[in-house]
Chain A
């Protein structure tokens, strides 16, 4: 019977497996499983004891016993790993179930700020013109008589000055420093600073001595365009106006120019666009830059020609959004600001 294992030893090994598997199965938590692990495979575990007693076994049986112990250990280890995975899955399920929330009952701060409607309209216009190859120019709101009137072909006493009700400031000589009545001084500043070609739009605040009512504010916003280049024609003016109206409103819109008068442009025009329903609405004023203005800014009118146009940002925003009272723009009621 050399090499045959003592049946008593075999029984110990197999019962260790049977009992072990039962204990693993019975472990209902990861923690319990950890103790079971220690019990079955730790130093005091039956299999460990059995291994310790190997030296007492006849040498020819040792190999068989060692093999039996290793098989038993492997079976238990696999069972523990399986059970561990199972218990982990259960624990995850339980945790997720415990953490379940009704997301619709979250008390959320859903406030997001809003750009002012004037800014939105201004940026929309800027973007349209940038797309047409324009840059954006700016200038101060406090101006001198020279930039606001004189350089724009309105010397002192010029009758056209009465077209603008001017707010003068207590600074310098009387009636020399003022709040700009239009964004046109930016034209002058640009031409004085920069050699043509010039393709700019100048949005900004303007001021007039107007009593606030549904259609007037003493403080409002304009956007002004200026092109100075070689060979610029009246047709370029009409075409540019048509182009930006189509960019902003769509290809089905059209525009027209009607003769008008501004001291800084000649020929001058008012420009109209069609509405979605085909009626004409007035948009702004425009014209070819008056040669006197070019000359005031140091440009030779025989070499350069140009056009300028301008219109009110509030009025355009009102048309686009169905507003009928311009005073909403300065009240800054959050119920107004957050609508757009």
Chain B
């Protein structure tokens, strides 16, 4: 929303003379301080003081330059002609033109001095509209050169006067959606006046009426009182379409609206001034001037002002004529059939209050957002229509129209007026202030919140004004008090936290994971959570990804079910920039469709890609990582895993429960992303205690209880045993068998050699383990050691392992 300084001053009479209110920059700061965030202040009409009307007396070529001519002008009727060098050739002898005299500072800061151009003196500058900063106000139609002025203007007339330029300042406000009232000059003026302690005045509007009573010419009926709270109609005749006055065009232009013609401009002007959108019908096109409001019937259509045919739905509001035919979409756009034209003689003015939700729905559905619909959907003031109608009539009458007596008003349901109790103690408790009840009243009444005493002297009954639909409760009033008292006057204290700060064990674990992974050379990547359709399938990972219903682009329409795709993509991106052999990791959320189709499954994962390294590095890293977290009982179970090399992939389990996967990424998946090297991969579900943390994971595995266990003081013995077993028996599986067979006497089982070769036979290999044998309470005898060894060999035999000679 843009507002201008002079326009505000029409409602705040003391504004321009106020030390703060009269200074545009200071006033902009005041607006920001009361929540009407002022992003920019633009001063208009500045820098025109030294420019005056001059007459062209003589034109002559410049002796030394083709693109400059010498112009003799007279600005002072009694003075001597002045020579000016000018680069434009669009004027003729006798034309009136703007002359920037010596000493003028132009709007762009350029200073006009007497100077020589190619040997000829120039005593000023003839000006184009752009150079005076007036082109954007609609002055000067062509860009052909010097602005040619009205020939009747007297010599020496200041250009501001000659062009009717109002010196003004334009404030560009970035308003929050709770303040529909500030989408109007009066709304901003009311707040500004209250903050500055100035009076806010709505001037009296006095318009004479004549002709037939409006009630004889038009009628209105509301069929859906929830759709339309109030519908006000006035009738004018003798309306002619011309151009609006210059001052109005300038203000409209400042506020970002293009002047069109007198009727449209007046409609927009009143909408900006009062925040009340309005619509004009050509009375001749509305049989008997009969209007009615109802919901649309499915399939109904009409051609709107922009020439488009709009098909309507039941939730849309429509204005229909006496024959029940739609002639406008309520609050959104009028119909073409009743549009005013050069032939228009009489008009119907519509000023209505529409249900915000209905307007919001229809304007969104049709993609039609206008100044009017945005005001209606945020909530216009239901009580302002009558006054705005008078103002419209006043301006049209000034243009020669006649106002018919009488106002036609149909009533629907408007929001009820709300009165809330405001406790002074509550205000002070929330704001840490020591305001008195009178001070609170002093902040509220100037902005239209009427305060009445209650039986409790420190409780006010505050009636919320009709233009503040955002306010409904005591807390809303507290905010008004804070705003007008000034946020900068409220204190700064630090609450004493009764809780100790800190990170949870899970959060600390995730930090340890990150630090560990960076210390082994992996960098953290954070790709977006979105993938393109087909990415999941192309990566071989679970394909039941959740799709975005309203994606901006297809490439960002599927939620990842695994971190694999994003990390391989990232390796591909870096490979394309000749950065290979990268290790990357990510800690992030993954998602999949819920079995019941409702809220998707969500869990957190950590994943690592090891570019240029194979499965061995990945297994090693996954075991170091589980050791870091403090999980002892980890097994690697060979199993094909989606997205990984089927012969080089495994499930990582703790206590028999799967918590992650490890392997090498399927070379085909890498190839599709432009990754030519081998890529080791590991990922773990993190798990945790909250529902959305997903199933079992790395951080939810029970760990050592942290209770001290005495270290055996008795000697240990190491026994090396190599078994030949079938490839189908995993090395971890055999280790588990040995561990369980050894019982408490076997304190450690470590695989230290794997051998394949002719001597062990096809499809088999030799696995050599070093077993540490130790008792907590005695030195083991040779006989005892022998029997442990025998039981280990027997156990290996149970899974087909034979002791290698």
A residues at B contact (CB < 8 Å): 109, 111-116, 118-119, 123, 126, 129-136, 139-142, 144, 157, 159-160, 162-163, 167-172, 174-175, 177, 179, 197-199, 205, 207, 209-211, 217-219, 227, 229, 231-236, 238-240, 242-243, 256-261, 263, 266-270, 288, 290-292, 305, 329-335, 337-338
Contact = CB atoms under 8 A, between A and B. Distances in A.
Contacts of B503: 126, 130, 135-136
Given A134-B497, A232-B495, A114 B483 contact: no
B501 A132 contact: yes
A218 B528 contact: yes
B33 A240 contact: no
Interface string B489-516: 0111111111111111001000100100
Contacts of A229: 495, 498
B275 to A, nearest CB: 15
A146 to B, nearest CB: 11
Contacts of A332: 525-527, 570, 573-574, 584
A207 B177 CA distance: 21
B583 A113 contact: yes
9 contacts: A113-B517, A116-B526, A142-B599, A169-B559, A170-B549, A197-B499, A227-B495, A261-B176, A330-B528
A263 B551 CA distance: 26
Main secondary structure of the interface of A (DSSP, over half): mixed
Contacts of A242: 492
B557 to A, nearest CB: 10
A266 B476 contact: yes
A129 to B, nearest CB: 7
Contacts of B583: 111, 113
B430 interface: yes
Nearest to A133: B497
B417 interface: no
A-B interface, 3 closest residue pairs, ranked by CB to CB distance from nearest: A133-B497, A259-B35, A261-B176
A329 to B, nearest CB: 7
B491 A258 contact: no
Nearest to B500: A133
Given A199-B497, A291-B473, A170 B492 contact: no
A168 B548 contact: yes
A177 B598 contact: yes
A172 B597 contact: yes
B600 A267 contact: no
Contacts of B517: 113
Nearest to B604: A138
Interface in B316-362: 356-357, 360
Contacts of A134: 497, 501
A259 B33 contact: yes
A198 B473 CA distance: 25
B625 to A, nearest CB: 14
Nearest to B377: A159
Interface string B463-477: 000000010010110
Contacts of B247: none
Contacts of B356: 159
Contacts of B500: 133
Place the interface of chain B in its size category: 35 or more
B524 interface: yes
Interface string B287-299: 0000000000000
A288 B478 CA distance: 11
B283 to A, nearest CB: 35
Given A171-B600, A243-B494, A334-B523, A130 B514 contact: no
Residue with the highest number of chain B CB atoms closer than 10 Å, among A135, A159, A218, A243: A159
Nearest to A137: B504
Contacts of B431: 233-235, 267
Given A141-B591, A236-B494, 7 more contacts: A109-B521, A111-B521, A135-B502, A160-B178, A172-B599, A236-B432, A259-B482
A113 B585 contact: yes
Contact of A116 (B492, B511, B524, B597): B524
A135 B594 contact: no
Given A157-B360, A258-B35, A259-B487, A163 B528 contact: no
A283 B551 CA distance: 28
B139 interface: no
Interface string B105-116: 000000000000
A142 B602 contact: yes
B589 A141 contact: yes
A4 B101 CA distance: 143
Contact of B494 (A240, A291, A333): A240
B475 A234 contact: no
Interface in B554-610: 556, 559, 570, 573-574, 577, 579, 582-585, 589, 591, 593-594, 597-600, 602
Contacts of B177: 159-160, 162-163, 261
Contact of A135 (B493, B499, B556, B585): B499
B437 to A, nearest CB: 19
B32 interface: yes
A296 to B, nearest CB: 14
Contacts of B585: 113
B475 A261 contact: no
A5 to B, nearest CB: 57
B598 A267 contact: no
Contacts of B127: none
A234 B490 contact: yes
A140 B692 contact: yes
A114 B518 CA distance: 6
A234 B573 contact: no
Nearest to A197: B498
Nearest to B550: A168
Contact of A169 (B494, B501, B600): B600
A288 B426 CA distance: 13
B241 interface: no
A169 B549 contact: yes
A267 B478 contact: yes
B432 A233 contact: yes
A257 B548 contact: no
B526 A330 contact: yes
A216 B497 CA distance: 35
Given A119-B514, A229-B498, A334-B579, A260 B525 contact: no
B191 to A, nearest CB: 11
B204 interface: no
Contacts of A126: 503
A167 B35 contact: no
B35 A260 contact: yes
B562 to A, nearest CB: 15
A338 B523 contact: yes
A260 B552 CA distance: 29
B776 to A, nearest CB: 41
Contact of A335 (B502, B570, B579): B579
Contacts of B593: 171
A144 B432 contact: no
A198 B501 CA distance: 11
Contacts of A159: 177, 356, 360, 377-379
Contact of B552 (A211, A291, A329, A331): A211
Nearest to A260: B176
B457 interface: no
Nearest to A305: B430
A131 B511 CA distance: 17
